[in-house]
Structure 1
Amino acid sequence: MKSGLEDVVAAETRLSDVDGAHGRLIIRGHSLDDLVGHSTYEDVIALLFDGYFASEADLPRALGKARSEVFAHLAVVDASLLALPPVDAMRALLARLPDGEDLPSALRLIAGPAVFTAGLIRLRQGLDVIAPDASMSHAADTLRMTHGTVPSPEQTAALDRYLMTVSDHGLNASTFASRVVASTQAGLTSSVLAALSALKGPLHGGAPGPVLDALDGVGSPDNASAWLEAALARGDRLMGFGHRVYRVRDPRADALKTAVRLLANGGAIDPARLALAEAVEAAALDLLKRKKPDRALDTNVEFYTALLLEALGFPRETFTCVFAMGRTSGWLAHAREQALTGRLIRPMSVYVGPSVAVAA
């Protein structure tokens, strides 16, 4: 038996390849570096959906229409829903979308996290919700619905790059959950709800916020080494470093570091905050190399995700929701791949409980 299904192959997929040994992420034959440099999130959705959903000549327009369609569900938000953690409130709103298997159903499920997260942020701040603008890109409209102003090109490009970067990543816990539910023919909404429930766990999608807590704790670049060494001495995990699969640097970290620098060039990040983050990263990598030389602990996707989402004005408690904005496209593609080409997922277990006495 492999604890945690380590090294167990549970699916064949055409969607993404995570090469942990060499630090590469391939999405349907395209490297992450090529995608984030030459594509949009809508392009990546079309790439992931190709062959699994009906084609759409104008996918940005269709996704804009889907945002407008799901917006009406914000009308049911009340005080009890707002009192929930944002990811739980968003999950409750997504559960209102009917199960389906077609492209419109899938696009509404992609639209939901963006529209619902933006609306929940504003309602929690005592502000009115803002209706979608179907003519805008998904990233730009998400920021506009959140903050009430048209974002700068740098802000739009940064969020778009983030959504592409986290769109799919092999058979991680949430994607596997999506495929398990899809294998029962339950429907796309059920698959996405299962995936989102897995994502909210702190061992999967909950680490970017604590990265910012660490930056706040360090305070200044010259305190980085001492603060991090004290954290390691207490047995604390340095958030934003190390990955279950990657034995070298997470390629998504470099993609997002570039996005953060785009924001800095546009004046959307305090230069002192960026300098602090870079000092913490350098000190952490040096410390981990010295203290844990037998382990592959490099910068992962969470480190620069935290800085990027903070700069874009998303509250820390909504970071998992924003992750879901990008990853839902991958969940849906995997769900359809499983439903169309796979079998009911039903692994075996090994019983280790007490034996039943056999009568003589």
Structure 2
Amino acid sequence: MYAKGLKGIIAAETSLSYIDGNKGELIYRGTPVHDLAIQSSFEEVAYFLWYGVMPTKEQLNELTLKMRNDRILPAYIKEILALLPLDLSLMDVLRTVISSLVPGTNFKKPTIEEAIRITAIMPTVIAYRYRQHEGLTPIEPKNEYSHVANYLYMLNGQKPEKSHVGALETYMILTMEHGMNASTFSARVTASTESDLISAVTSAIGTMKGPLHGGAPTGVLDLLDEIEYDLNAEPVIREKLNRNEKLMGFGHRVYRTNDPRAIALKEKLLKMNSDDPWLKLALHVEEIAIHLLEEFKPGRKLMTNVEFYAAAIMRAIKMDPALFTPTFSASRTVGWTAHIIEQANNNTIFRPQSLYVGK
């Protein structure tokens, strides 16, 4: 059977996450992602995906300590960062730097220890390079901060606001894992050759760089900026739909109803600051857009997706749009590495067939 892009083809078994697009459900190892995002920290959910159980207090402390130690950049990585051209995108920098990490001694068998190391160092690389690119002095990690709080601290050079940490942590938990998406699939294909975990993550980063996978929140910002300028959402959206343009932040290839991640992000934003003008704009645009989408595309159920409120979160915490896809990658590293380990533990090399249509 031929399915373009392998759409609908089951290629692996996983116990990491389950998506029901018709019901708008996403679960990590049997637990609704909404519950995890509201009740747990980044470190707790990462542990849950890697080990299959929620950590005890002692286990969480051990993981936190390891991540704090592993997020420090080795001297040779700083040298690489100093030598890379400044016009190189952050995703290109990530791909290059992560590929230069020294693999663990157990080359052919990915380990959770390596997964922790890559997850811990990813935000440090992003923040270090971002400040370098902006002509600012890079900042070293601070032990007193959690994984997400330290990321914001290293980006901005000041103590992060609690509400900003909470909002970004919610986003990073919600985007940590999402089944057999393009980047996860590329990571598993690489792992299936018995290559190392670093190579598999590098494959995933290269895939995430593509705008069809990791670049949507920037398009949402453009839409909201355009509407904010005109102060009238309906004419702008109606004109776009008349031209048959894609409305960024609405509809999803998997979800045929509400995206559960968008619901959780919206809830977090409302708790942050319900009077924020940017949030009020997002709520207004969501209401108008869903109404018009039903008018123009009846029965399609094109609802708000995670990228819409991800953009609102990023704007609320004043994050540069250049950081959107790298930040997405920093959160998804947990899912990538969990899939790589799962693939290695029950491996068969991926070798699909192709349909010859030439002479």
What TM bracket, shorter-length normalisation? Answer: over 0.9
| Equivalent residue, structure 2, for 1:357 | none
Distance in 2, matches of 1:150 and 1:71, equals: 25
Q: In structure 2, do the counterparts of structure 1 residues 135 and 104 end up closer, same or farther at CA, with 3 Å as the change threshold?
A: farther
Distance in 2, matches of 1:224 and 1:71, equals: 50
- Which residue identity lines up with residue 183 of structure 1 in the other structure? S
- Which residue identity lines up with residue 87 of structure 1 in the other structure? M
CA contact (8 A) 2:94 2:205 kept: no
Question: In the TM superposition, what are the counterparts of 1:1-360 in structure 2 within 5 Å?
Answer: 1-50=2-51, 57=59, 58-70=62-74, 73-78=77-82, 80-100=84-104, 101-219=110-228, 222-264=231-273, 271-354=276-359
Q: In structure 2, do the counterparts of structure 1 residues 68 and 79 end up closer, same or farther at CA, with 3 Å as the change threshold?
A: closer
CA contact (8 A) 1:87 1:318 kept: no
Q: How far apart are 1:219 and its partner, in Å?
A: 1.5
Q: How many residues are matched?
A: 348
Give the TM-score, by structure 1 length: 0.92
Distance in 2, matches of 1:234 and 1:70, equals: 51
Distance in 2, matches of 1:82 and 1:108, equals: 26
Q: How far apart are 1:195 and its partner, in Å?
A: 0.8
Q: How far apart are 1:72 and its partner, in Å?
A: 6.0
SS across alignment from 1:61: helix
Q: How far apart are 1:104 and its partner, in Å?
A: 3.1
Distance in 1, matches of 2:33 and 2:119, equals: 20
Gaps of 5+ in 2: 105-109
Distance in 2, matches of 1:39 and 1:272, equals: 28
SS across alignment from 1:151: coil
CA contact (8 A) 1:256 1:305 kept: yes
Which range moved further: 103-112 or 303-312?
103-112
Q: How far apart are 1:235 and its partner, in Å?
A: 2.4
Q: CA-to-partner distance for each residue in 1:192-240, whole Å, 9 max, x for gaps?
A: 1111111111111111011011111111685101001111222221000
Q: CA-to-partner distance for each residue in 1:85-109, whole Å, 9 max, x for gaps?
A: 1111122111111234233321221
Q: CA-to-partner distance for each residue in 1:22-62, whole Å, 9 max, x for gaps?
A: 0010101110121012111101111111169xx99311111
Q: In structure 2, do the counterparts of structure 1 residues 310 and 120 end up closer, same or farther at CA, with 3 Å as the change threshold?
A: farther
Give the TM-score, by structure 2 length: 0.92
SS across alignment from 1:169: coil
Distance in 2, matches of 1:294 and 1:161, equals: 31
SS across alignment from 2:124: helix
Distance in 1, matches of 2:231 and 2:286, equals: 13
Distance in 2, matches of 1:70 and 1:111, equals: 13
Distance in 2, matches of 1:254 and 1:115, equals: 29
CA contact (8 A) 1:221 1:276 kept: no
Q: How far apart are 1:134 and its partner, in Å?
A: 2.9
- Which residue identity lines up with residue 154 of structure 1 in the other structure? S
Q: How far apart are 1:168 and its partner, in Å?
A: 0.3
Distance in 2, matches of 1:71 and 1:263, equals: 38
- Which residue identity lines up with residue 181 of structure 2 in the other structure? N
Q: In structure 2, do the counterparts of structure 1 residues 279 and 71 end up closer, same or farther at CA, with 3 Å as the change threshold?
A: farther
Distance in 2, matches of 1:333 and 1:154, equals: 29
Distance in 1, matches of 2:75 and 2:47, equals: 23
Q: In structure 2, do the counterparts of structure 1 residues 176 and 170 end up closer, same or farther at CA, with 3 Å as the change threshold?
A: same
Distance in 2, matches of 1:192 and 1:134, equals: 26
- Which residue identity lines up with residue 17 of structure 2 in the other structure? S
Q: CA-to-partner distance for each residue in 1:66-95, whole Å, 9 max, x for gaps?
A: 102457623432364321111111221111
Q: How far apart are 1:2 and its partner, in Å?
A: 1.1
SS across alignment from 1:204: helix
- Which residue identity lines up with residue 51 of structure 2 in the other structure? D
Q: How far apart are 1:127 and its partner, in Å?
A: 0.7
Distance in 1, matches of 2:354 and 2:76, equals: 44
CA contact (8 A) 2:72 2:121 kept: no
RMSD: 1.9
SS across alignment from 1:68: coil
Q: In structure 2, do the counterparts of structure 1 residues 303 and 72 end up closer, same or farther at CA, with 3 Å as the change threshold?
A: farther
Q: CA-to-partner distance for each residue in 1:256-279, whole Å, 9 max, x for gaps?
A: 1122223326xxxx7221111111
Q: How far apart are 1:135 and its partner, in Å?
A: 3.4
SS across alignment from 1:134: coil
